[in-house]
Amino acid sequence: MNIAIITGASSGIGKEFVQQLPYFYKNLDEIWVIARRTKPLYALEKCSSLPIRVIAGDLGTFEIYQQIQDLLEQYRPKIRLLVNAAGFGKSGRAEHIFQTDSTAQWKMIDINCRAVTQMTLLCFPYFSKGSRVIQIASAAAFFPQPGFAVYAATKAYVLSFSRALQAEWKKKGVFVTVVCPGPVDTEFFLHTGAAIPPLKKLCMTKASNVVKKALLDSKKQKRISIYGAGMKLIFSASKIIPHAWVTKIEAMGMR
């Protein structure tokens, strides 16, 4: 049985992957979709031409991984594609977030870092030559971000982790693409706890654009997928501009 697994599939980028996958993968038997919210997951059956297997659960808990492992051991599928799209962010000074919601930062680290790691390694035995992994990071990974400190740090982890796996798994024929979009018009900004900055509004793009490019880049075995000239420019700048300069400018905007 050939399958794809998508986390964070109930909305946003994850949902868009479910919708676009049938155009890119013609030989899949099922798409396994994972998220906390059950109702939106079952609604995906109406927007996908491929059979959907719903796995409802919180990636911040142990139980969901045991459930996934049991299903993998039961069906022994070939995972042709894994998409780690689950994640969230909170805006504001790090100490203020901690004071108002002491668990928010730990949840960010748990979902954005541990869950990505655990899902990827849990699926590894079921990859074969030609399998793809798509990790959703962010352009926030390119520079440290005052006012978005923990979130940017978690996405820097995803970027670094993915790049290391690209080298480790090359001989096995498993290709890892890390996706680093700028602001995307999804539910993400409803939960950050702050208004969307004007600059981010100007750079906002659609999830469909990001996902289409990610799937195309994954097919081409590209190591990193960045949608839009603006974000590509920021990525190039991150290689030559000292991070201290950028964080100083960003910190001035917080005063």
User: By the 8 A CB rule, do 6 and 15 touch?
Assistant: no
**Which residue in 126, 151, 157, 227 is the catalytic one?**
151
**End-to-end Cα, the chain, rounded Å:** 55
User: By the 8 A CB rule, do 209 and 183 touch?
Assistant: no
Is 151 known to be catalytic? Answer: yes
Q: What is the DSSP string of 59-127?
A: TTSHHHHHHHHHHHHHH--EEEEEEE-------S-HHHHHHH-TTHHHHHHIIIIIIHHHHHHHHGGG-
| Count, residues in the chain | 255
Residues classed as catalytic: 151
